[in-house]
Amino acid sequence: MRAVLDNNQLTPLPAPSESPFAGVTLAPLAFAEILLRKDPGNALDSLCGYDLLFGKELSVVMTEIAGLEESEIRSYRPYIAPDSPMQAKYAAAIFAPQPKHIEAARAIKAGNRSFCQRLADIAIKSRKAVLESKSSGKFAGKSRFTDITEALAEAPSFHRSLITMYVTNGGARTIAAASKDSLVESVLANPNLDRLFRSIFAFVVSVSRGWTDQTWNYDPSGKRDDWTDVILPLYADDGDVILTADGRFRRHVAIIDPNGRVRALPVADIIAEHNPST
């Protein structure tokens, strides 16, 4: 079990000798946020001794997926190769951060905000289309869903359109797959990519107020923090845990993965599970 870190759980991470985690996975923005803190020392120190895995930026992932054939998409991993020069560069930034690393962190954060803004704009447009369809009576199927399984069954074309929209950058990017259908099927066969697009799909349903349980629904925020959370499931493998103190995000992960292949919990809860007497 690896720990995928949300920004709010960086400092509470236990020392490796006392940790139930086999390693730590850092999404690009989480990594950037560490380096951009006024005093990143404590957070950086807490990572020492862990097996570190760094996620690729989402824009890079989408570009790479577009250039892959079906079999390559199914086996795609959204992480920087452990033995690559890029991994060494990221590790150096953890253990001995230099001004160039801080500048790179600023670029990652700016790029993430720009890309996530585009993703958010698409989601808001999708929300508007869904709400207009509901009000006009043109919405095919149920107007509210009880869970992710029902939602995906009732709106499969919308789910598939999200995949092609993001991978092709709204049609501006060509694909190496034989067709859009084979692209979608290959993405859905990849656990990480499937989890990402379930997350995006569920987010659109939430901001469209499409869940029967009203606690699952909310209005989109002008902040990009929502999108930082929405893309985090991409970096979790089956059996991993996303460490977060954000209650709404923990609920979001439970919605998209009701079988618990990936869970979202605070650090303290995971430690309590492995040390019930403490």
Percent of the chain with pLDDT over 70: 82
The C-alpha angle with vertex 168 and arms to 165 and 169, in degrees rounded to 5, equals 75
Name every residue whose Cβ is closer than 8 Å to that of residue 5 and which is 6 or more positions away in sequence.
Answer: 13, 24, 25, 26, 27, 30, 243
Q: Which of 17-26, 55-64, 85-94, 259-268 has the lowest mean pLDDT?
A: 85-94
pLDDT of residue 66: 97
pLDDT of residue 24: 92
How confident is the model over 176-200, as a mean pLDDT? 97
Give tens-digit pLDDT for 199-239: 999 988 888 788 999 999 887 665 545 777 888 999 999 99
Give tens-digit pLDDT for 93-133: 777 777 887 887 888 777 766 666 666 666 666 666 666 65
Structure tokens at 63: 């570009």
Helices marked H in the chain: 28-35, 41-47, 58-66, 70-74, 85-95, 99-136, 148-154, 156-167, 180-188, 191-207, 225-231, 247-256, 267-274
- Integer angstrom CA distances of residue 44 from 52, 74, 79, 265: 12, 34, 20, 21
Q: Which of 113, 77, 85, 138 is nearest to 226 (CA)?
A: 113
Of the two residues 275 and 75, the one the predictor is more confident about is 75
pLDDT of residue 242: 95
pLDDT of residue 271: 85
User: Can you give the residue ranges of every domain in the chain?
Assistant: 2-274
Number of Cβ atoms within 10 Å of the Cβ of 93: 21
pLDDT of residue 85: 87
Identify the sign of the CA torsion 262, 186, 205, 111.
Answer: positive
Give tens-digit pLDDT for 140-174: 556 689 999 999 998 888 899 989 999 998 899 99
Q: Is the pLDDT of residue 192 over 90?
A: yes
pLDDT of residue 197: 96
Of the two residues 32 and 191, the one the predictor is more confident about is 191
Of the two residues 88 and 95, the one the predictor is more confident about is 88
pLDDT of residue 134: 57
d(CA 236, CA 34): 19
What 3-state class would DSSP assign to 152?
Answer: helix
How confident is the model over 240-254, as a mean pLDDT? 93
Q: Is the pLDDT of residue 272 over 80?
A: yes
